[in-house]
Amino acid sequence: MGPIRMARASGWGEGLLRPMPVAGGAILVVVVLAVAAFLPAYQTELVTQMLIYAIFAMSLDLLVGYTGLPSLGHSAYFGLAAYATALLALKLALPFWLAAALGLACAVIGAFLFNLLALRTARAYYLMITLALSQVLWSLAVSWTDVTGGDNGLPGIARPVLGIRLDGAGVWLVFVALVFAVSTLVMWTLVRSPFGYALRGIRENEERMKALGYDVWRYKLLVSMVAAFFAGVAGILFLSLNSFVGPQALSIALSAQVLLMVLVGAAGTLFGSIFGAVAFVLLQNVVSSWTERWLFVVGAVYVLFALFAPAGALVWVRERLRSSRGRSR
């Protein structure tokens, strides 16, 4: 069985929950409208954060789960798009939508230039090089105070106008939900396409794919640029949510957090990344309201996942469903 056929056979994540994009998107919009109408502002903001982090986690999953490229520097594209958008809007007074488009272009171009060389290394070295990239950008954001504001960041970015003002928490949640639905649909279509199955083939057996005539390096470069684009989308949404961007958006801590979201949910399944993002935001905000030692609790939860569900929550659910069906038979 060739790598592409192997990848098709192993794509159980989408098989477990077969998405229906049009119906699912319509249901999502209805649910979000109901949430926006009845939830207080704080809970509405939590749901908004979940959707933004879900886009960010799915973008990393394209690299880690579907292509087998470990990355500890994905926050570089998240923060690069946010900083570029903020600088263009504040320093050059560009309209938000133009600044956001140029910010996304910066993230994609940055991924292209970086991966021209980084992808020629082995996977373990790629992990370290991506870490170094985010650290370089983080140190630049901290030290170049005249431009980036240093530790104080860049505050005062107004939310965009789309026919109506998007200032209200409920209105902004609806907008983010629409962006989330479109982003999920695009990434789901990508991973279900021949290009996506080629990525899984590269993950399963890179040398075999080369022998079959696939330009593995080019596939990796393209998916890195796509992942950077959607990470940039999440970064710009997060910038608008907080009306602020600081060095934390480029930090290794953020890269580690989003990697944990992917691994806890189940790498190689977009739904798993969504689950991981929701779980992380809930743990971070709910547990921190109970105790100041919330980092210890969150760390303990992740350790439990690593011990009892090392392949991710979605794999664990799948195995439980299979065992329950076996016992019923």
Of 176, 158, 138, nearest to 244 by C-alpha is: 158
> How far apart, in whole angstroms, are the C-alpha atoms of residue 105 and residue 173?
25
- What is the number of domains present in the chain? 1
Residue 167 token pair = 């200032």
CA dihedral 210, 213, 218, 224 (to 10 degrees): -60
Give domain status of residue 302, yes or no: no
Residue 216 token pair = 């593995």
Give domain status of residue 328, yes or no: no
Residue 15 token pair = 């098989």
Give domain status of residue 323, yes or no: no
When computed from its CA atoms, the radius of gyration of the chain, rounded to whole angstroms, is 20
> How far apart, in whole angstroms, are the C-alpha atoms of residue 112 and residue 227?
11
Give domain status of residue 188, yes or no: yes
Structural contact between residues 209 and 3, judged by C-beta atoms closer than 8 angstroms: yes
CATH of the domain at 124: 1.10.3470
- The DSSP letter of residue 285 is I
Q: What is the pLDDT along the chain (329 residues), one digit of tens a residue?
A: 444 444 443 444 444 444 444 455 556 566 666 666 677 888 888 889 999 999 999 999 999 999 999 899 999 999 999 999 999 999 898 999 999 999 999 999 999 999 998 898 877 789 889 988 889 999 999 999 999 999 999 998 888 877 666 777 778 888 898 899 899 999 999 999 999 999 999 999 999 999 999 999 999 999 999 999 999 999 999 999 999 999 999 999 899 899 989 988 888 888 889 988 988 888 888 777 777 777 777 778 778 877 777 777 777 777 777 777 666 66
Give domain status of residue 276, yes or no: no
Give domain status of residue 18, yes or no: yes
Give residue 164's domain range: 3-252
